[in-house]
Structure 1
């Protein structure tokens, strides 16, 4: 509640400042709306500089870019250079709503249904987003919105549609933006080609900015601008310094973000398979691990014994239909040894337990019995565990979080004590804001850019009346689906992902 009060109070402070500067820019004492005809000359100058671009080629490029995030697929370039593909948002929106409704009708909780939706979450500083992220998001919003509107103006002038004014607006930070106001009569009389160029240009430049930010992120990672910033002293690294690389036990990995650091620590501990990661580290007692750290322009190394990167073989939880639970192993037990199928596995860490479990699959078969030695409280128990099968292989009943994880359950540093670098935060928000603006504006919901483009096309084909009916139907259906996904995102508390950003 305190954060909400601060959020509202800070907005009215800004309103007061703007009111002192220009009374006409404040509307109903809660909104800012300011426009100027004088700024149009800057849009004209920008258009003249880029007038050499052929209009036909420009139209094809912007339409392809317009379609990428919503109707086709958007490439996502990770800091390590790997390229992932994000499905078109329209497909995710509709299929997410369908899956969520099925879950709710099946008796699932709102949180579970929300996890199957498109994950639409409102970004409200101080409420769904930590305040310390606001400066980075603000820079991204200004750049994204200004270039979005500038490209609208550029396309309008290229197709001989006059621009009347340029302005900005904002309501409680959340609904903020800039606008270029073309002459309404000229825009209505323009060809479908001209309207398409004008409407698609804003989304196209946001897609370009998002992709450019990804590539800059890769270059920054290569230059060592990313990493995991320590909020407390740990692993002999002072608070404020950052880890940028891990070496040891066959690993030689760069560190890009706090989550990346935690994941690689757990790979080092031998727990990668529980995270769905196939990479493994070949460690044994007495091995050394080197953390490469950076403090401003100074780079240094910290070498530690591998024992600093192990976890206890304590069971946190188990699937109740797995071999271990059916054989009598319970959460809280500490596994000491596994014996059977002609082999003995001494267990001293969570990584060794997981390694033993994986190796038994190569020498045992379903129905075999192995002895599992566990310490329960102060008592050593020997349990006869019959190996059961699921999915064509031996199933022990271990899952994500079944064993203690470094950075969450054990270790000298916790995930919430690690932070992104300023460079990483800015790149993150440049990607999120530009992708978000592109997706929102390209949706065929009137009066968004996508909705206006749909109207221009269908009204030309079907006439103004029938075309208007089609646009209205599509708008109401998609708006309802969007609101449903948004409500699930709020009620299912998906915004906690945003709150965890550091």
Structure 2
């Protein structure tokens, strides 16, 4: 489905939702843009539940809420799922400012939008648009995560207000074009304004704290589940190479053994990463010899099978993604997309099985002075299933004029599944367990990170304004938070636009499907 068709379907879906809401109650629809429902009874219900939970020591609650708030956007590291373990990403505030600077510098230096998007890492700022940035089939998982995350977010806002004696006027839900959707509680403005600084900090931090707590809970459940075997790479499509490897539609790859590696598989990206490591992609010494066998543990229906795959089937050469323009290989006729399979010259005949082996071979040639600038070599590449030989005259290495220059970018070589068609990431899907938990983690983390930013009237903006009022007074704090808000909003808009235009969201949501 093309972009225009997806956009049309997206708008039609919103129009139908607005029509249903209007037919049910006219006052639910505000200018065809927002659907909103609010109720005093909902606020009374939240107040009643909050009073029943008032046994939690207030000081401990405030301390934990503030700690979780800071963890969302302002800590140097935040834990995220990574295969069978945990990795760490910078807090969103650091990521937003840093990625904006890097991407802007790249654009100023002449990089394309796609290159700048990759350099800046904008994917996290892409809005979730059904049918456009996310497939429609992911909507149920997202809706579940949003419903739970938003409900607890707003409940804890109300809980903190009630604990500090601030009356709740109304509570409700809203949506604007599916994108800005959520719930809200409305404390009494006068009572909130006249409350202590600690009360304000607790009220404004509580919603973000709720989402961080849910994200961390999802991370813990994810780690337990995938280590118990609930993860895996589900084959949702079949192409000729995967069929030749003995894989079938619906197979779930649960583990990979061979060439010194034995590991469970949690998600498709991990499967491809392990296979790349075995053959040396994108750089490094291959762990496998072409004559060895890689064993895949597969769940097919209710049966667990062992599928042996010759390492040679995964070692088909080095796919070239990027070449130095007008460099030696480029001048000879080699082009991006070619798969380099052999080098003749420089003291021998070198059969190339993978990207890592190619880089290792070139490094060996250079360090052992097996070739000099101006020497001729012959390279064999496969293009459209046809082997072609090119005569290459080696250039002069800019960093050492006595050594040869080939004109291959070290980061311009393909990896299995990500840049090659042998196994493609789009052929695989996560298990149902991983889909639900990953979306639960990502949605709650996203809600926390965005709301924690110092942008008025987000929770982070209101919290920072409350702190600034102590030092600058009400008027000065209002002016300062407006300036800060404009800066961070500009970063967010820039990153979102660049991530969208650069197409980074396609790769991200492909990994999550």
**Which category describes the TM-score, using the shorter chain as reference length?**
0.7 to 0.9
Name the SS of the counterpart of 1:282 in structure 2: coil
Match of 1:175 in 2: 180
Q: Say if 1:66 and 1:204, in contact at 8 Å, map to a contact too.
A: yes
Matched, 1:88 2:88: no
TM-score w.r.t. structure 2 length? Answer: 0.85
Match of 2:279 in 1: 269
* Among candidates 330, 337, 346, match of residue 334 of structure 2: 330
Cα 1:336/1:95, change in 2 over 3 Å = closer
Q: Say if 1:337 and 1:347, in contact at 8 Å, map to a contact too.
A: yes
* Among candidates 482, 488, 500, match of residue 478 of structure 1: 488
Match of 1:244 in 2: 254
Where does structure 1 lack aligned partners over 5 or more consecutive residues? none
Q: Say if 2:340 and 2:352, in contact at 8 Å, map to a contact too.
A: no
Cα 1:441/1:8, change in 2 over 3 Å = same
Match of 1:215 in 2: 220
Q: Say if 1:129 and 1:498, in contact at 8 Å, map to a contact too.
A: no
TM-score w.r.t. structure 1 length? Answer: 0.87
Matched, 1:283 2:283: no
How far apart, in 2, do the equivalents of 1:348 and 1:475 lie?
Answer: 54
Match of 2:297 in 1: 292
Matched, 1:122 2:132: no
- The worse-fitting range, judged by mean Cα deviation, of 105-114 and 289-298 is 105-114
Cα 1:311/1:193, change in 2 over 3 Å = same
* Among candidates 347, 351, 355, match of residue 347 of structure 1: 351
Matched, 1:203 2:184: no
TM-fit CA distance, 1:245: 1.1
Match of 1:109 in 2: 112
Cα 1:175/1:408, change in 2 over 3 Å = closer
TM-fit CA distance, 1:167: 0.6
Match of 1:438 in 2: 448
Q: Say if 1:77 and 1:215, in contact at 8 Å, map to a contact too.
A: no
TM-fit CA distance, 1:48: 3.6
* Among candidates 68, 72, 75, match of residue 69 of structure 1: 72
Counterparts in 2 of 1:460-471, with a 5 A limit? 460-471=470-481
Cα 1:447/1:232, change in 2 over 3 Å = closer
Counterparts in 2 of 1:395-474, with a 5 A limit? 396-399=406-409, 405-407=415-417, 412-474=422-484
Cα 1:213/1:322, change in 2 over 3 Å = farther
Q: Say if 1:317 and 1:330, in contact at 8 Å, map to a contact too.
A: no
Cα 1:366/1:461, change in 2 over 3 Å = farther
Number of matched pairs: 494
* Among candidates 248, 259, 269, match of residue 259 of structure 1: 269
TM-fit CA distance, 1:147: 0.7
Cα 1:280/1:143, change in 2 over 3 Å = farther
Cα 1:413/1:314, change in 2 over 3 Å = closer
Name the SS of the counterpart of 1:125 in structure 2: coil
Residue deviations 1:33-62 (CA, integer Å, cap 9, x gap): 111222334423432443222211221221
How far apart, in 1, do the equivalents of 2:466 and 2:102 lie?
Answer: 32
How far apart, in 2, do the equivalents of 1:143 and 1:429 lie?
Answer: 12
Match of 1:9 in 2: 12
* Among candidates 133, 137, 143, match of residue 132 of structure 1: 137
Q: Say if 2:269 and 2:425, in contact at 8 Å, map to a contact too.
A: yes
How far apart, in 2, do the equivalents of 1:316 and 1:198 lie?
Answer: 51
- The worse-fitting range, judged by mean Cα deviation, of 388-397 and 81-90 is 388-397
Residue deviations 1:261-282 (CA, integer Å, cap 9, x gap): 2222222333241xxxx57423
How far apart, in 2, do the equivalents of 1:45 and 1:293 lie?
Answer: 51
Cα 1:399/1:221, change in 2 over 3 Å = farther
Name the SS of the counterpart of 2:175 in structure 1: strand
Match of 1:78 in 2: 81
* Among candidates 144, 147, 154, match of residue 142 of structure 1: 147
TM-fit CA distance, 1:469: 2.0
* Among candidates 35, 39, 46, match of residue 36 of structure 1: 39
Matched, 1:98 2:104: no
TM-fit CA distance, 1:8: 1.4
TM-fit CA distance, 1:349: 2.3
Counterparts in 2 of 1:379-398, with a 5 A limit? 385=394, 388=397, 390=399, 396-398=406-408
TM-fit CA distance, 1:310: 1.9
Cα 1:241/1:42, change in 2 over 3 Å = farther
How far apart, in 1, do the equivalents of 2:171 and 2:55 lie?
Answer: 24
TM-fit CA distance, 1:358: 4.6
Name the SS of the counterpart of 1:168 in structure 2: strand
Match of 2:498 in 1: 488
Q: Say if 2:40 and 2:169, in contact at 8 Å, map to a contact too.
A: yes
